[in-house]
Amino acid sequence: MELEPAGKARKLDIQELKEIRNDAYENARIYKDKTKLFHDKNIVQKHFSVGQRVLLYNSVLKLFPVEIESEESGKWFTVNGQQLKPFYENFQAHTVEKIQLEPPFKASS
């Protein structure tokens, strides 16, 4: 019977599948590393000073923990630093000028 050559062929096929799987894992790891680097590069670093007033978007995530104090209750709590935005007192919005448009000119025939 031809069992020995078939067995060798089967072992080679299994080895080839293992190599393909390892290549796929390696490619996935490389892709994840590149994606993480791209994402981390685009994160804007925020710098706050003690006593500065900030706006807080209410979130349950605590990726970059920052301790802040509530002005109302005086309690300290930890929040995600990426959810804080500087608070600008006496901020004046730009005024928008309104322009009245005339109907388009129609050429007479």
> What mean pLDDT is predicted for residues 38-53?
79
55-96 pLDDT tens trace: 666 655 556 667 777 778 888 877 777 667 777 777 666 677
3-class SS at 28?
A: helix
Question: Between the CA of residue 66 and those of 17, 27, 51, what are the distances in Å?
Answer: 48, 36, 13
pLDDT attached to residue 58: 61
Better pLDDT: 39 or 85 = 39
Better pLDDT: 30 or 59 = 30
Better pLDDT: 101 or 4 = 4
pLDDT attached to residue 24: 96
pTM of the model: 0.40
Are 97 and 80 in contact by the 8 Å Cβ rule? The answer is: no
Are 62 and 78 in contact by the 8 Å Cβ rule? The answer is: yes
Contacts of 43 (CB under 8 A, 6+ apart): 82
How far is the C-alpha of 51 from the C-alpha of 4, rounded, in Å? Answer: 80
